[in-house]
Each structure stands twice: as structure tokens, then as C-alpha cells.
Structure 1
Amino acid sequence: MSERFFLYDDTVETKTRFVSFMGDNQRFDLAVIQSDRYYGKQLVLDIQSNRFAIIGEDDLKEPGYIEHAFNLNEENAEELRDFLFEIV
């Protein structure tokens, strides 16, 4: 096997928040990870659906972004978006 070529291999301190809430139609189980990476954005993992996205306020304002990133219909995406606006 040839020598592995790393683009980067860093260890950073993170702050992780695990939160679960019930929307009108869907339960959300999230891990929200903050670090000094991603230009101040947060890594949001939906544990139920195995989907994740790097999210900042600009992404929340982008039409269709949450729907696409988490494979949600418009109503469920709006509930998630409302929650994320509170913490981003």
C-alpha cells in the first residue's frame, strides 16, 4: 500500500448540543456542533435521517436549502428553520 496523503488531519475543540423536539408532523433529533471551522457556521446532524449540513444564517435564508439538505417538505423544513434561527 502506498503512503497515505492527508489533505489535513486536525483535532479541534467543539461544543456539541444534542436536542430533540417534536414538530407538528415530525420529530427532530439533532446534534449541533460548533467549532472554529466553517467560517462561524454550525454542523447540524439529523440523527433520525442520517443527513447533515453546514448551516449559517445565510443558509437559513436561502430558499429551498433546508428542504434539500434534510429532505423535508416545506412545512417540516419551516419548523426546523425556525428552531435553527434561534440558535445560529
Structure 2
Amino acid sequence: MAERFFLYDDLENTKTRFVSFMGENQRFDLAIIRSDRYYGKQLVLDIQGSRFAIIGEDDLREEGYLEHVFQLSEEDAEELRSFLMEIV
């Protein structure tokens, strides 16, 4: 086997918050990971939907971003946006 070529291999301390809440139409099960890795943005994992995104305040303001990344309706994305705006 050839020697493995790493682009990077870093260990970093993180803070992870697991949160679940019920929206009007669906349940959100999230893991929100904070680290210094992504320039102040959080890694948001949708555990039930198997989707994730690196999200900051600028991303939450971008029209259609959450709808696209998490495959949500406008209404469901607005509920998620409202929650994330409180913590990002």
C-alpha cells in the first residue's frame, strides 16, 4: 500500500450542543459544533435528515440557503433560521 498523503490532520477542542425541537410541520434534531476551525461559523448537523452545513450569520441571511442545504420548505426553513439566529 502506498503511503497516505494527508492534506491536514488536526485535533481541535470543540463544544457540541445537541438540541431537538418540534416545528409546525417537522421535528428538528440537530448537533451544533463550535470550534475555531470555520472562522466563527458553526457546523450544523441535521441528524434525522443526514445533512450538514457550516453556518454563520451571513448564511442565515442568504435567501434560500437553508431551504437548499437542508431540503426544507420555506416555512420549515424559517423556523430553523429563527432558532439558529438566536445561537449563531
Same fold (TM over 0.5): yes
* Cross-structure match for 1:27: 27
Supply the distance in 1 between the matched residues of 2:82 and 2:27 (Cα, whole angstroms).
14
| TM-score of the aligned structures, taking structure 2 as reference length | 0.99
Aligned to 2:83: 83
**Which stretches of structure 1, 4 residues or more, deviate above 6 A after TM superposition?**
none
Q: Which runs of 5+ in 2 are unaligned?
A: none
In structure 2, what is the Cα distance between the partners aligned to 1:2 and 1:58? 42
Runs of 5+ unmatched residues, structure 1: none
Aligned to 1:38: 38
After TM superposition, give the deviation of residue 62 of structure 1 in Å.
0.4
**C-alpha RMSD of the superposition:** 0.4
Deviations 1:40-62 (A, max 9, x none): 00000000000000000000000
